[in-house]
Amino acid sequence: MGSLGRLETLALQIALVRRQERPVLGKARSVIFAGDHGITAEGVSSHPPEVTAAMVGNFLAGGATISAFTRIAGAELRVVDAGVASALPAHTDLTDAKITTGTRNSAVEPAMTAKQRDDALEKGIALARDAVAEGVDILAPGEMGIGNTAAASLIVHRLAPAPLDAVVGRGAGLDDTGLARKRAALAKAAARTDTVDPLQVLAEFGGFEIAMMAGFMLGGAAENRIIIVDGFIAGAAALVATRIAPPARERMVFAHRSAEPGAKAILDVLNADPLLDLGLRLGEGSGAALAIPMVRAAAAILTDLADYPRDPER
């Protein structure tokens, strides 16, 4: 006992989540939620919003990092249009769950209405239930959305809580001028309201992909499935989900220690020790996909290893 280190702890968690002494894990599915953000009007990203739709096309064409990683992990890949600003062509692996064409600019007004927030949460829950009905036992959500590190920073600032400057990073590669502009925009957004209620925080600052991902985590947790949490953006969604329903935390496996500065606040407040530390900050659920084989390996400790009789003299 103890020779397999943290994999043994993970094996125990899987058994408790699945409520099985010998947990059998069915399919793994990576679900990428995509949405655009009105706060990009404040210059918080080094890339234009059109990149969101372009990357969705890359996911579906099989040329993105997450496409390669899910193939290696033997996992399914699905993409969800939660609120991309442009119309997306139909595809067998694309689910149209669009709330509307991107959030509003949270620097000047709430990012979404309460109804839009609730619709996004409910659609995420339904997608998790559908996945479970299709034999999926490992849920690995990810995201795509230009500007979503800004939304995640505001969420973590309020729900961790943590100082805003400590959770704002360079995102997709901002220079010093861009980072200063991003910090100013987020300070402007944070000054609009002092709410710390998780549902209100989500509506004030979140993205449709973050809200839908939080719902997906809640739906999967309610079905006693393993939720692999990716990096900073997925971590912000996990923070929302656990603030809404604290028992959801028990179903979560944290994939990696993101290089994005706000990720540390999430891991600290959720008492999470991620499986990997590779300096990743890509998003897309890439770290979660890398963790899928480790989750399967942990379960195999309980299902595939032979039992040896103990020496009665020891």
Residue 23, phi-psi category: left (phi > 0), alpha (psi -120 to 50), beta (remainder): beta
User: Which residues are paired to 27 by β-bridges?
Assistant: 136
Place of tokens 């099989």: 62
Q: Cα separation of 105 and 164, whole Å?
A: 18
Phi and psi for 46 in degrees, rounded to 5? -85, -5
DSSP 188-252: HHHTT-----HHHHHHHH--HHHHHHHHHHHHHHHTT-EEEE-SHHHHHHHHHHHHH-GGGGGGE
User: Which residues are paired to 241 by β-bridges?
Assistant: none
Q: Which tokens sit at 166? A: 């400590």
Q: Cα separation of 55 and 52, whole Å?
A: 5
Residue 173, phi-psi category: left (phi > 0), alpha (psi -120 to 50), beta (remainder): left
Beta carbons within 10 angstroms of residue 135's beta carbon: 9
Place of tokens 């699945």: 18
Task: Based on DSSP, count helices (H) and strands (E) in the chain, helices before strands.
Answer: 12, 6
Name residue 264's amino acid.
K
Q: Which tokens sit at 84? A: 């991309």
Residues labelled as active-site residues: 284
